Amino acid sequence: MTDVATRSPVDAIADRFWAYVLERQPVLASMLGDRRYEDRLDDPGPAGRAADRAMLGGVLADAAEVDRAALGVEDRVTLGMLEVVARVHLARDEQHLHEFGSFDHINGPQGLTGDLARFTVVDSDEAFDHLLSRLAAYPAWMDAHTANLDEGIATGRTAARVVVERTIEQTERAVEAPMDEAPLLQALGDQLSVDQRERLRAALVRDVVPAQARFLEYARGYLPHARVGEGVWSIPDGEAIYETAILASTTLPLTARELHDFGLQQLAEIDRDRLEIARRLGHTDVASLRVALEHDADNFARTRAEPAERARAQIERAAALAPRWFGRLPRAACEVRPVEPFMEREAPAAFYFPPAPDGSRPGIYFINTYQPEGRPLHQLATTTYHEAVPGHHFQCTIETELENLHAFRRFGSRLAGLAYAEGWGLYSERLADEMGLYEDPRERLGMLDMQALRAGRLVTDTGLHAFRWTRQQAVDFLEGTGLSRAQAGVEIDRYIVWPGQALAYMVGQREILALRHELEVRDGDRFDLRAFHDELLGHGSLPLAILREELPNWVKPRPD
């Protein structure tokens, strides 16, 4: 944060906005280590949405009064980001996404206690009482979500049937699971006394499980109202909803057609590169190489520990080479952990959890070790370099360590879109190739497979939501890019529930690569790649339009 004596009008706007976000979203505050609101949940109902509209409208009104010509670079960026957040979230409110968004098999309300299990700390009697208060609020919170869904039934804005079915399956498992397997009981473990463990169990039995059971019954009754078309085109105002989703995800005014065609073009280029690798390995085509890999026992883990061990070795190699490519390095370490048993069946193959701002928790790269015999190892390296080093661990951790930036920029920048962060992760997969981190052609094939998945996302997300593809059409297309049918189904259902989110990855990578190329041409032999990376990461996550405008001014050529 800036010194009090040098604070600008932009700091004051950001202060009010960020303080509001933390109080309005107490679970987010808890995740960030701010424990002031750990006894409560958010208000998903009409009063909460009205308060949001008032705050967002106030941000825009206050921003309009600022003399932009007098602003320094970081204030200018912060103000632009606040305006992006306000405009996108106001548009989403006007489009009534709350009327169907509570059905979500990835981040829906039925999974709250599993989310709390990841970051809840019980280090005092007060903290334990706060947790019980939060759980006591769960039944009314769930009822507010179903009230929103009732609104959607009345207006014809309903969730897709496949999303409701997946939510039902997930909630059934939660309701039917033995209480000893409850995520909070498992995760808190040694933090609880015998008495606290019994009181927590009683709270789960009294407050959580009955609320989940009511939600399950509601979801079963909702099924006849679920929309038949999977894409948002089938919702009233669906075209406008998807336009806002594209803007929210990519932070650029792109059209569905442009994104669809770009994905097809990228797939064609990636297929050429994959064919070259197949021929180098003695195969006539990629399909025969895939068959060989599927029958190669060495390409699959023999134990649950092996993927995590490999990931640690990959991170060590990347960290050793990083100083040649980065001047700015994160202070926090990156730890590899297996996904917890209570989450592994639903969890993705791998994901990253940022470090605690106070240094009490490192960055954590989670590897899913469930059924390791079905997870090909040649795809692990590219995932490691995307999620950990030099991918999200560098980007997320450096962002939180930029103490000169406002807290909103350090901890809330993703409210302004995912394209920068996911673009950096995808760029890191390609950068790892430049760094020589892939140990053989099979690992390079794994990288290209993941690039193809992101290109396929552009095609299938726009296909579903703008061009009226069916779920089966989208699954068939994504399977053709190299995924198994089961993997493709999981991916497509994610795009159905999160319109536009899948667009962020390759659009962000495209913007980063375009800016790098622009500066390589501008600076010639004096282009400084380390400076490019340092400036790219040195201002936190940015909307792509702001990045496009500002980055060329920040990156300087090497001195003669």
Taking the C-alpha atoms of residue 46 and residue 429, their distance in angstroms, rounded to an integer, is 43
Q: Please report the pLDDT score of residue 451 as a whole number.
A: 97
User: Domain check: are 241 and 322 in the same one?
Assistant: no
Check pLDDT > 90 for residue 452.
Answer: yes
DSSP 189: G
In a domain, residue 36? The reply is yes
Which has more pLDDT, 329 or 228?
A: 329
Q: What is the pLDDT of residue 371?
A: 86
Query: How confident is the model at residue 315, as a pLDDT?
Result: 98
Closest CA to 544 of 521, 520, 510: 510
Q: What is the pLDDT of residues 364-402, one digit of tens each?
A: 999 989 888 888 999 999 999 999 999 999 999 999 999
| In a shared domain, residues 49 and 120 | yes
How far is CA 354 from each of CA 364, 395, 399, rounded to the nearest angstrom? Answer: 6, 10, 10
Determine which helix (DSSP H) or strand (DSSP E) holds 141, and give its type and residue range. Answer: helix 138-155
Same domain, 316 and 237: no
Query: Do 235 and 360 reside in the same domain of the chain?
Result: no
Tens digit of each residue's pLDDT (9 = 90 or more) over 70-79: 999 999 999 9
Q: What's the mean pLDDT in 260-270?
A: 98
What does the pLDDT read at residue 349?
A: 84
User: What is the residue whose two structure tokens read 């939501």?
Assistant: 465
Radius of gyration, CA atoms only, the chain: 24
One-character DSSP codes across 38-73: TT-----SHHHHHHHHHHHHHHHHHHHTS-GGG--H
Task: Using the predicted structure, report yes or no on whether residue 5 has a pLDDT greater than 60.
Answer: no
Could you give the count of Cα atoms lying within 13 Å of 2 in the half-sphere of its Cβ? 18
Long-range residue pairs from 120-125, CB within 8 A, at least 24 positions apart, any chain: 120/30, 120/38, 120/184, 120/187, 120/188, 121/35, 121/191, 122/188, 122/191, 122/192, 122/196, 123/191
N-term to C-term CA, the chain: 35
Residue 240: inside a domain, yes or no?
yes
Give strand pairing partners of 364: 335, 353
At residue 360 the predicted structure's pLDDT band, cuts being 50, 70 and 90, is confident
Q: Is residue 83 part of a domain?
A: yes
Cα gap 183→120, rounded to integer Å:
11
| Residues 519 and 433 placed together within one structural domain of the fold | yes
Same domain, 33 and 177: yes
Above pLDDT 90, what percent of the chain?
Answer: 88
Interstrand relation of 363-367 and 334-338 (parallel, antiparallel or unpaired): parallel
In degrees and rounded to multiples of 5, residue 287 shows phi and psi of -60, -45
Looking at the structure of the chain, the number of domains it has is: 2
Same domain, 313 and 232: no
Residues whose CB falls within 8 Å of the CB of residue 326, separated by 6 or more in sequence, listed in order? 390, 394, 530, 533, 534, 537
Report d(CA 428, CA 280) in Å as an integer. Answer: 24
Residue 372 pLDDT: 86
Last residue in a domain, options 245, 275, 293: 245
Chain Cα centroid distance, residue 480: 25
Both 210 and 317 in one domain: the answer is no
Residue 545 C-beta-side C-alpha neighbours within 13 Å:
15
H or E, element range at 365: strand 363-367
What number is the average pLDDT over the span 488-495? 92
For residue 535, which amino acid is it?
E
- Sheet with 334-338: strands ordered across: 334-338, 363-367, 350-353
288 inside domain: no
Among 181, 212, 245, which residue terminates a domain? 245
Residue 84 tokens read as 């992006």
What is the DSSP secondary structure assignment for residue 251, as one 8-state letter? S
The verdict on 210 and 349 lying in the same domain is no
The residue with tokens 């496009």 is: 548
pLDDT in tens, 158-202: 999 999 999 999 999 999 999 998 999 998 988 999 999 999 999
327 and 236 part of one domain: no
Task: Please provide the average confidence, as pLDDT, over all residues in the chain.
Answer: 95
**How many whole angstroms separate alpha carbon 200 and alpha carbon 204?**
6
Residue pointed to by tokens 């106001």: 90
pLDDT at position 119 is 87
pLDDT tens digits, one per residue of 285-302: 999 999 999 999 999 998
In a domain, 555, yes or no: no
Q: Are residues 137 and 218 located together in one domain of the fold?
A: yes
Residue 400 falls within a domain, yes or no? Answer: yes
11 and 108 together in one domain: yes
Residue 63 structural domain: 4-245
CA dist., res. 446 & res. 314, Å (int): 14
The answer to the question of residue 453 being in a domain is no
Instruction: Of 112, 149, 141, give the one whose Cα is nearest residue 42.
Output: 141
Share of the chain above pLDDT 70, in %: 98
455 belongs to a structural domain: no
